[in-house]
Amino acid sequence: MTIDSIRSRLALALFMTGFICAGSAAEAQRGDLTDAGSYRSTDRGFLFVDGEYVPRPYEFRKEGDSYFVNEINLAAIGIDLSLYVKEAKVRQERRTRKKKSTAAGREPIAKLHSETQFWLYAFDTVLLAPGLPPVCLDGSDEGGDLLRVLADPKKRMAASTSVPDWAPDAPSVDPRRLKEYYSTWVPSFQPSDGFLVDAQARIAFLDSAEIANDQSHAAEVRLATFGYPLTILMMILVVYGFGHLLSHRPNTDEWICDAKSNPLRIPFYRSLMLIAGLSAVDLVWTILVSQAGAMRELNPVGSQIIDDPLQLVGFKVLVTASAVGLLFFCRQAALARQASWWSCLVLTLVAARWLVFNSMFIS
């Protein structure tokens, strides 16, 4: 056997080994995805069976012809599955008309089992009661309101006389029957310690998300309100700034004259005022646009404090006031006058960039 033959066989063996390992890894990955996609176990959502809260986590399994959530047999609850039965008949009729296989579809209880998994995984609130179709309440809307009422004794008692209209997502149920169920179940509900812990954590999350949404909406309203006048002000400052910069360039002999005989004192002060004014408008724009979520601060210092407007204002005022004060203190030096011109140029270009940026959003 030659060396080339040995090398060829060794390469083939390594290739087959790698192929088998890759196939095993793919099968393992597929199995993990299947387990995750089936939601066989979840610690999300809120499940109420016959008026009682079922503690998390929720384990879904099938034993023979029975479907369980934890130790609860769904078939033993007496849930109204007529909607599922009707849906199965409609699907079967469609399959028959299309001359496809007439094999029986999924049983109604199996469909309920599957949908309950999905609803809970989506953080919804699910009510399973005898004689009623399954009720799924959106976890961020009606479901959150239900949790707030169930966790508060005063709100539970108020629900006996004024029942909120918590409409389910799916499947549909008679609103009058559902309201009657709410009026009898909610006031008599006795929350367990486990429910209070889970509900309070969810309520705190929903409240924080609601506050964040309100703040974001208010920021967008402020940006829409002040965007146009600030754009006009910025245009005036940019035009005036470029005119000032072009009229008094730092490469003339006047910039190196003695301070007592220098005729450019007023343009120098004008540069300082433009620096302060452009910095102030830039600060206002930064706060408005960042709170509206329309920009990302790239300045490593500003990005750390941009979420706190007071700190950002303090930092900006301190830096700008220090720079302007230092330039004014050194006003007799030609270098200070050149620095004021270049600082004014940079801020004017920043203001022009703001105009271009905001012109894309303001009509």
Q: What is the mean pLDDT of residues 329-358?
A: 85
Q: Which residue has the higher pLDDT, 82 or 17?
A: 82
Q: What is the pLDDT of residue 58?
A: 93
Q: pLDDT band at 334, cuts 50/70/90? A: confident
| CA-based torsion, 39, 41, 46, 48: positive or negative | positive
- Whole-prediction pTM value? 0.62
Residue 18 has pLDDT above 70, yes or no: no
Mean of the pLDDT values across residues 75-88? 83
Q: State yes or no: pLDDT of 163 exceeds 80.
A: no
Return the bridge partners of 61, or none: 68
164, 149 contact by CB (below 8 A) = yes
The mean pLDDT value of the chain amounts to 78
- Helix H, strand E, coil C: the string for 58-111 is EEEEEECCEEEECCEEHHHCCCCCHHHHHHHHHHHHHHHHCCCCCCCCCCHHHH
Mean local confidence (pLDDT), 152-178:
77
Poorest-confidence range of 20-29, 244-253, 303-312, 340-349?
A: 20-29
Stretch 182-193: mean pLDDT: 89
Nearest to 189 by CA among 125, 140, 122: 125
Residue ranges of domains in the chain:
46-191, 217-359
Handedness of CA 319, 320, 322, 327 (dihedral sign): positive
Containing H/E element for 222? helix 193-247
Q: Is the peptide bond before 57 cis (omega within 30 degrees of 0)?
A: yes
Whether residue 29 has pLDDT greater than 70: no
Confidence of residue 103 (pLDDT cuts 50, 70, 90): very low
Question: Mean pLDDT throughout 16-26?
Answer: 44
Return d(Cα 241, Cα 317) in angstroms, integer. 20
